[in-house]
Structure formats: C-alpha cells, structure tokens
Amino acid sequence: MPPMKLNELLDAYRCCTETDLPPAERSVLLHELDELRRAEWLGKSLRAGDLAPDFVLPDCAGAGARLGDALRDGPIVLKFYRGRWCPFCTLELRAYQRLLPEIRALGAELIALSPQNEQETAFNRDRDHLRFPMLTDVDNCIAGQFGITYEVTDELRRLYESTGMDLTRTNAASTWTVPLPAVYLIAQDRRITWSYVDPDYLHRAEPETVIAELRRLQRR
C-alpha cells in the first residue's frame, strides 16, 4: 500500500481532532480561517517571476546563514512554517524530511523559516530528526517581504493563551504575527520560479509537487 500523501495525512489528523474541540473553540478557529481566505493574498505575496529578497538569518546555533551563499550551490526550496506548536507544520516538515534525499539529488537544498526563536527551532529539529537548515525569521521580517504575514485575531490569541501558548515568548518577535505556510522555489539568480501560497493552513503543497517543479527547473 503506497504511503499517504501529505494532504491525506493532514485531513486525517483534522478529522481525528476537530470532533474533540468544544464548539466555541471550533468557531474561533473557523472564523480565523474565513478571514484568511477572504484576504487578497495573491495580490500581496511574491510569485513566480519576482526576485526573492536576499537575507541573513540565524540558525539553531545562532550563526548567520545567507540565502545568496546557499544559492551558489544550487536552487533553494524555501519553506515558511508557523512553528512547532502547529501540528500541521510538524506533519509537513516530516514529509519534507522523508523526501530530502530526492531534493538534494536534484542539486537543491531545503531551507525552513519560522518566527520561533533558536531554542524552539532546535527543539523542533531534534524532536523530529530534521536534517535541513532551519532559520529564525526575526520579527517575521523576511516573511513580511514575501507578503505572507498576518496578525492572529484577538479572539484566537485569547484561545491560545488559555492553553498556555504565548507566541511572544516562543517567537523572536513581540507580536502575534505569523507567516502563511508558503513554499517558494528559488533559482540561483534569486528569481522565484514557482510558489505555493494558500491562506488555508489546513492544506499544503505536496512535497512531490515541489520535486516535480525542481525537475522542470533543471530542464530549462
């Protein structure tokens, strides 16, 4: 039996957990999703043909990593994720880890960015045995330049805080701003050749689709 696709896993997780949510909490989460879906993301976010901004961001050890330096060795799959507190992001990063050998066999590298601080990112990396660069996007600066950030609503923030979660403590930021879980394929000239931006964080790009786009880039 073939392994489940990423979005099949996400759907299965959602179905297993949403029935346990109290109606009031489920209403808050659905309202947030509705607000995100109504936003005009395609008009704000970078897309294929745009030039990706160069950046230097700290890795888990606090050392700076530059996008331009990484691009010297090949194209980059740039994966934005919300943080280790998001189970959908966890499942997604694990799926990319399983296909990491294929990504590297195509001469590319995967780099994951989130606003969480270096300690949270290191915990994330070690817990899930992730072997690709994971960088801290301080104050969501780079996600903001890509046009994919949004502010968590006050209602959802209060819900999260009631469970003990405080993004101002776990993130390298003082606000409740998070990125959409977008994916960008960046060629060595920093030109974006493909992107996936979906305001519905319950759905993600299939890693196999990213690999297909990498193969297409190789043939150019």
State how far the Cα of 97 lies from the Cα of 27, in Å rounded to an integer.
Answer: 33
Burial 126-145 (b: 16+ CB within 10 A, else e): eeeebebbbbbbebbebbee
State how far the Cα of 127 lies from the Cα of 169, in Å rounded to an integer.
Answer: 20
Mean pLDDT of 167-176: 93
From the centroid of its chain, how far is CA 220?
A: 27
Mean pLDDT of 16-41: 82
For residue 96, count CB atoms less than 10 angstroms from its CB and return exposed for 0-12, middle for 13-18, buried for 19 or more: buried
- Superfamily in which the 6-218 domain is placed by CATH: Glutaredoxin (3.40.30.10)
Quick check: 39 pLDDT over 80? no
Using CA atoms, how far residue 210 sits from 100, 165, 195, 200, 216, in Å, is 11, 32, 9, 18, 10
In which band, very low, low, confident or very high, does the pLDDT at 44 lie, cut at 50, 70 and 90? confident
In which band, very low, low, confident or very high, does the pLDDT at 42 lie, cut at 50, 70 and 90? low
From the centroid of its chain, how far is CA 6?
A: 14
Res 2: pLDDT: 67
Res 21: pLDDT: 81
Mean pLDDT of 47-67: 96
Res 157: pLDDT: 93
Res 28: pLDDT: 87
164 conformational bin, left if phi > 0, alpha if psi -120 to 50, beta if neither: left
Tell me what percent of the residues of the chain surpass a pLDDT of 70.
98
**Which ranges of the chain would DSSP assign to H, the alpha helix?**
6-18, 23-38, 41-44, 67-71, 87-98, 100-105, 118-128, 141-146, 154-162, 167-170, 207-218
**In one letter, which amino acid is 50?**
D
- Per the listing, tokens 């996007």 go with 137
Res 219: pLDDT: 87
**pTM summary value:** 0.94
**In one letter, which amino acid is 175?**
T
Res 177: pLDDT: 94
Res 41: pLDDT: 66
pLDDT 10s digits, 105-155: 999 999 999 999 999 999 999 999 999 999 999 999 999 999 999 999 899
Res 24: pLDDT: 84
Mean pLDDT of 182-205: 96
Res 1: pLDDT: 61
Q: Which two tokens stand for residue 188?
A: 């060595």
Res 31: pLDDT: 84
